Structure 1
Amino acid sequence: MSQTAASINQEAGWQASLDLAYANKNGKTCLVKKQHKGPLMVQKPFYPEAEHCCHTYLIHPPGGIAGGDQLQINSHLQDATHALITTPAATKFYRSIGPQAQQQQTLHVEDNAILEWLPQETVYFCAANVLNKTIIHMKESSSLMAWEIQCLGLTAQQQHFEYGQCLQRLEVWQDGRPLMLEMNRFIGGDDFLHSACGMHNHKTLATFIIKDPHQYLDGAMLDSFKPTQDVMVTACTYVNGLYIIRALGKYAEDIKNYFIQIWQHVRPIMLNLDPCSPRIWMT
């Protein structure tokens, strides 16, 4: 391949999309649409806890996401459906020599539908250039448990986020009204990554959002739920009908385990369902 052709190909990157739709068929949540383009797809849905809840595994490009890649993920839960969506491994954004990598995840949760959005962590390698957006649209009767775990660099390999840029947006809407609009901008090597009013030298930040339309949960209970080890900083707030749990830590695994403990505690109270961890988490 010529140098010019290689440059054009790199700027183009992957153009990938995945469209999912779930429907309630006689009490069973069925994945009725799974249209994909490029290296984005889902495995066959699983039903480890009877047919009311469909476990779905999103498969990202096996080589990670590089500069110029554009990924679109759309998921639509129709009335009275229940989906648990996760990923088998971390989503990785690699370094870029210029072009921006973009990912947008748009999730629609209709009346009396339940979404458990529980992906593995997202890792931004040093010198990555990323725009990463997650947008959730719900109804008043929708139930939601969703987390996002972001890692700046590779802590275990001592590879810090010294260069690059990451723009991360997280939006939650209900009936066209914004409940949460958040944007984070991380610049490699910036003082914000080290200052006490910023990341304070933590490499991982995470947000866990819970919407309980039936108000079964107790905010004081969530606020008192502390990690078993003093390896992170956590806080819980209640804003616009959302419980928002935040965590800062060194390792994604610690925060993920903390969020899983909360999820295991909340699920029986909020959904009247025993915790049923995706099998892929065990591998």
Structure 2
Amino acid sequence: MIENPQTAAWHGKLNLIYAHRQNSTQLIYNHHQAPLKVQRAFYPEGEKVCHSVMLHTAGGVVGGDRLSSHFHLQPNTQALITTAAASKIYRSNGLQARQTIDIQIDAGACLEFLPQETILFNGADYRQDLRVELATGASFLGWEITRLGRSARGEKFLEGEWRSHTEIWQQGVPLWIDRQFLPGNTEIFHSPHGLFGQPIVGSLLWLGYPVSTEIIEQVRSLFTQHSALSTEHSTLYTQHSILNTQHLVGVTQLEHGLLCRYRGASTSEVRNWFTAVWQILRTSFLNRNICIPRVWQI
């Protein structure tokens, strides 16, 4: 008897609530439904910052899976959430796989949401939705790194679909809305308006406080060895892109923060760049040094 793929799908849930108690950030509520769960809280940089590691116990995501997470940071909490390993999205069985993450960050709180890379197998059909409700005086730093096709095996993303929708709101006002859609086919894979032959795309977003032009230039200086192709200026943002045969990167000054983009071929390259940007933002706005999650070093 052949099993119906719809009945075999996972419907994972994860609900985390953080509170400020006794001068520390504590995970006061943790509800999970397989295959999602979270490890016990870690405090590698003191009691004020709670580190949480998400787990996907099934090992990978298949068509029909529905994963939903809700994170609530109560006032004056500080949390860093990452994943234990790269997420794998397997070839679709004809159904779309979907992950939805809703985040509420109250006044004076800050979330650093830094998942490890997502790997889409050729033929995967995957959509991820991230929505953040940011209170006045709250801040959010998040990134996503996506590898389209198992490029280490020579695989290209020539079939399937990838969608990524991100929305950041503050008191009913949209601070940032970003919708990305990439169908898997040869034309898009090689087009300069698509992947341009590169398998990895990444975005880093900081929102909550304006970023000075000095910090923007500092972030850009990480790539000063390459030639600048274009610079745009307006009252709302400043964008700068740098291209060589290996990668295309962009740095944008937003009205309430900073955006970095990457398109290239190296996970370590984008991760090292994002980590360096993260360190600049941490020291400038959060008054603390970089603290690499220990699961990244395994």
Aligned to 1:183: 179
Describe the superposition over 1:211-260 as per-residue Cα deviations: whole angstroms up to 9, x where unpaired.
25275773222233328896422111122312001111112222112111
2:239 aligned with 1:243, yes or no? no
Contiguous gaps of at least 5 residues in structure 1: none
Whole-Å Cα distance in 2 between the matches of residues 107 and 168 of structure 1? Answer: 16
Q: Out of 231-240 and 158-167, give the one that drifted further.
A: 231-240
Separation of aligned partners in 2, 1:102 and 1:135: 14
SS in 2 for 1:238: strand
Cα deviation for residue 155 of structure 1 reads 1.0
Q: Is the 8 A contact 1:40 1:61 kept in 2?
A: yes
**Which aligned pairs between 1:1-283 and structure 2 lie closer than 5 A?**
2-3=1-2, 6-7=3-4, 9-213=5-209, 218-226=215-223, 231-283=246-298
Q: TM-score scaled to structure 2, two decimals?
A: 0.88
**8 Å contact 2:96–2:127 — kept in the other structure?**
yes
Compute the displacement of 1:56 (Å): 0.3
User: % of aligned pairs identical?
Assistant: 33
2:280 match: secondary structure: helix
Q: Is the 8 A contact 2:160 2:184 kept in 1?
A: yes
Q: Deviations over 1:187-234 (max 9, x none)?
A: 111522211122211111111011252757732222333288964221
Mapped contact 1:76–1:109 kept (Cα < 8 A): yes
- Contact 1:155–1:251 under 8 Å retained in 2: no
Distance between the aligned counterparts of 2:255 and 2:165, measured in 1?
Answer: 18
SS in 1 for 2:222: coil
CA distance in 2, matches of 1:84, 1:228: 32
The 1:213–1:239 alpha-carbon spacing in structure 2 relative to 1, beyond 3 Å, is: closer
Structure 1 window deviating more from structure 2 (92-101 vs 251-260): it is: 251-260
Q: Secondary structure at the match of 1:97?
A: coil
Shift in CA distance, 227/13, structure 1 to aligned 2, threshold 3 Å: farther
Q: Structure 1 stretches (4+) deviating beyond 3 angstroms? A: 9-12, 214-217, 227-231
Computed over aligned residues only, the root mean square deviation of the Cα atoms, in angstroms, reads: 1.8
Q: TM-score with structure 1 length normalisation?
A: 0.93
